[in-house]
Amino acid sequence: MIAIVDYGAGNLVSVKKAVEWLGRECAITSDPAEVARATSIILPGVGHFASTAAIQKAGLRDVISDAIGRDVPFLGICVGMQWMFEGSQESPETAGLGLLRGECERFPESVKSPHVGWNELDVTEYSLLFHGVKSAPFVYFTHSFRAPANGTTVAYCEYGGRFSAAVERDRVFGVQFHPEKSGEIGLQVLRNFCSL
C-alpha cells in the first residue's frame, strides 16, 4: 500500500486519483503507524514551507526518515520535495529533512512569481523517474520558491535561472512539478515511481 501523507497542507485528492488510475492501492493518511507500514511513501504539499512543521508535530518526520533508511521508495511533490532539503528562505525557522544539501530560495525579481504553468524540463539520461518519457517534456508547476540544483538533480527547469525540477538518490525522489497534473508525462513519472 502506498501512503499519501496528509499533514494538513492542501488537497490530496488529485494525487490519490492519479495513483488509483495507475491501478495502485493507496491511502491518504496522517497515522505514523500506517506510514511506517507503507510499501512506498508520497509526501505532497502545497503552500507555505512553514506548513511542513506539521510533519514533525504529527510524529511523521522520524517515521519517514526511518522508512527512507529501510529503502522504502519515497517521493516528495512540490513543497514535499522542498522539505527534503535543509530548509527554505520562505520559513527560515522551519527545518527541512536535510536529506539533500542546500536551501530553497525565492525566484529573482526579474520573473513573475509564482511560477505557474507548463514549463519544459532538461532531463538527465540516467533518471529512473523519467524512464520512458521523451526528451524535453512539459510539466505543470505552481510554486514561489525553488530548490537549488545539486548532484541529485535529474531534471532541470529554466525560469529566472536553472533550478531542480526533479531529484533522485537511491530510492528517494522529489519533483517540484505536479505529476498528478502533468498529463501523460506526469502519469508516466508516477508509474515509474509506483513500479519500484
Interacting residue ranges for another protein, rule: CB under 8 A: 9-11, 13-14, 17-18, 21, 46-48, 112-120, 138, 140, 142-143, 158-159, 180-184, 186-187
Residue 75's DSSP bridge partners are 42, 173
Choose between 51 and 152: whose C-beta lies nearer to another protein.
51
Query: CA 93 to CA 39: how far, in whole Å?
Result: 32
Choose between 92 and 114: whose C-beta lies nearer to another protein.
114
Q: Considering 26, 90, 115, 180, which one is annotated as catalytic?
A: 180
State yes or no: is 26 an active-site residue.
Answer: no
Measured between its terminal Cα atoms, the distance across the chain in Å is 12
Rounded to a whole number of angstroms, the minimum distance from the CB of residue 115 to another protein is: 7
State yes or no: is 48 an active-site residue.
Answer: no
Rounded to a whole number of angstroms, the minimum distance from the CB of residue 69 to another protein is: 30
Rounded to a whole number of angstroms, the minimum distance from the CB of residue 3 to another protein is: 20
Choose between 75 and 172: whose C-beta lies nearer to another protein.
75
Choose between 8 and 98: whose C-beta lies nearer to another protein.
8
Half-sphere exposure of 145 (CA within 13 A, CB side): 24
Query: CA 155 to CA 6: how far, in whole Å?
Result: 26
Query: CA 106 to CA 119: how far, in whole Å?
Result: 18
State yes or no: is 78 an active-site residue.
Answer: yes
Query: CA 103 to CA 191: how far, in whole Å?
Result: 29
The torsion angle over the Cα atoms of residues 165, 168, 174 and 176, rounded to 10 degrees, is 0
34: three-class secondary structure by DSSP: helix
Rounded to a whole number of angstroms, the minimum distance from the CB of residue 170 to another protein is: 28
Q: Considering 26, 78, 104, 194, which one is annotated as catalytic?
A: 78
Q: Considering 26, 90, 115, 178, which one is annotated as catalytic?
A: 178
Q: Which residues are catalytic?
A: 78, 178, 180
